[in-house]
Homo-oligomer: A and B are copies of this chain.
Amino acid sequence: MILDKVNNPKDLNKLNIGELETLAQEMRELIINKVNTIGGHCGPNLGIVEATIAMHYVFNSPVDKIVFDVSHQCYPHKIITGRKEGFLNPDMYLKYTGYTAPEESEHDMFKVGHTSTSVSLALGLAKARDLKHENYNVIALIGDGSLSGGEAFEGLDNAAALDGNFIIVVNDNDMSIAENHGGIYSNLKKLRETNGKYECNYFKTFGFDYYYLEEGNNIEKLINAFEKVRDSKKPVVLHIHTIKGCGLDVAEQNKEAFHWIVPGTLDKKEENQQNPINEENYTSITVDYILNKTKTDNSVIAIAAGTPGVFGFNSEFRNILGKQYTDVGIAEEHAVAYSSGLAKAGAKPILSLMSSFVQRTYDQLSQDLCLNNSPVTMLIYWGGISDADATHLCVFDIPLMSNIPNLVYLAPTTKEEYISMLDWSVEQTQYPVAIRVPSCELVSSGIKDMTDYSVLNKYKVEEHGETVAIIGLGSFFNLACQVKDELKKQSGINATVINPKFITGVDKELLNNLKQNHEIVITLEDGVLDGGFGEKISRFYGDSKMKVLNYGAKKEFTDRANLEELYTRYRLRKELIVQDILKNVKIYT
């Protein structure tokens, strides 16, 4: 194997073009095997193998600094920069993250997992270099998909004003996660079609020098192109046309499906890939709900921001919805403001966002949406404590969203509640509403939920008891029930169990009534405690004798943590919680 000779980027310079091409094939095989075994980003990494080799061949990392946008296309970079064992040895597959990580290697500048950040981060490096009178290349590698995010535009706009070396490599594979949308992609297309000659050029409007390379998977040509921009004394854009999924037929043909694949994808028969298991879950019932709703009401519109797959919005769904669907691209700020506009003019927007990405649009939630009280329905997915990469945590949405005035943020605990909340939210015209789609398995009571959600902040006592009250929010309602049972078993105490449903308000009447025959209130939330739901209950009882224990995540960035260990560390276990309760209940203390 050629790869045997490559332990760091400098080793590339000992190889000839033929050997580099062989190396690319070896690396491609490793990536395919790894993502097919443990899952991971497939298409983006296969497309960038040659460019990564050429980049490291030409530039002198880590003296020269390469910043990867989103960084889910950094697998080839990791292989070259001393981490090939994480791809060669299946036992080591999990050793390295799927994103750049400075703690792993001096060749990784930043921990990155959200899009559109590379130009800004790299520009900071370049400016610091100039202030300190140092001398090296700074390269931002940005994919076409990332260009739709406003942060990338802001970075480009400011970068053009730099008076020094700065190299932006645009990795254009004509595809973000799903197909690309929006005006700038028509420009990239024209640039590809004219071999970069089209005069009305997005990058040139900023004032950048501009180079185009059509054969973005040809190592020799890539090396020439990188050599042309190396040591540039001013900001320059190198636009390369690569093939997403390059070298794996099925990935080249199904670019969206092979953006990120689950383990065993390549081993399955083709029909299985197209037909996921037909089991009802919160995603599937949402898809069905939207399909039904849009069919009967042409003012209903579904909106996504570049990750339709997460919500089950496959191409069939998108085709059926037609004009009643907008994928704005990776542009969450616009998605929220656009939804607000839709609602103001009488449409009924349903905007789906992942918890981790709702972070990208705080001001729009506050100003464009909530200050204007626009009746938008937002569905927040994946909220909760998880074993995710540090860049994709979903524990911050409650503090982020629920402290904004006017927003009604709901946490259903069953399918029936969820549907009922959706029905209310889509048709009402008074509030911006968000629903935290449960991240747990689907629970169905079988009984239609008749709650009138226009009566805000009414918690529901699911089981009446005494001494101890347990408030289980959303996907942690089940844990509340478990705690109740365990407490009964251990102490005979018959606890009250409460399903609050509303994240954004306190049910003062109910909480006051609890004072009559309860000593302690427990809150359970599937998110970070700081700024979250439970603290508001603690504040409420501040002037009373009621004790309050808040359970949830600690304020920290976890990184691919073991979920069971996390639950134990956060004491989110029925036994541990009962232990805490019994320490605080009078009869036992």
Contacts and interface: CB of A to CB of B under 8 A. Distances in A.
Interface stretch (A124-132, A416-424, A473-481): A124-132
A359 B363 contact: yes
Interface in A289-346: 298-299, 301, 323-324, 326, 328-329, 331, 333-334, 337-346
Contacts of A186: 160, 206-207
Most buried by B among A153, A366, A530: A153
Tell me whether chain A's interface is mostly helix, strand or loop, or mixed: helix
Interface stretch (A51-59, A176-184, A440-448, A486-494): A176-184
Interface string A510-549: 0000000000000000001111101110110111110111
B340 A124 contact: yes
A530 to B, nearest CB: 4
Contacts of A114: 363, 367
A267 interface: no
A156 B127 contact: no
Contacts of A549: 542-543
A541 B550 CA distance: 11
Interface in A245-268: none
A455 interface: no
A54 B200 CA distance: 31
A282 to B, nearest CB: 25
A233 to B, nearest CB: 15
A550 B557 contact: no
Interface in A116-163: 117, 120-132, 148-161
B183 A124 contact: no
A-B complex: 4 closest residue pairs judged by Cβ atoms: A150-B150, A124-B341, A160-B183, A183-B206
14 contacts: A110-B372, A111-B371, A114-B367, A121-B338, A124-B337, A132-B345, A161-B181, A201-B205, A359-B367, A360-B363, A403-B530, A405-B557, A531-B531, A542-B550
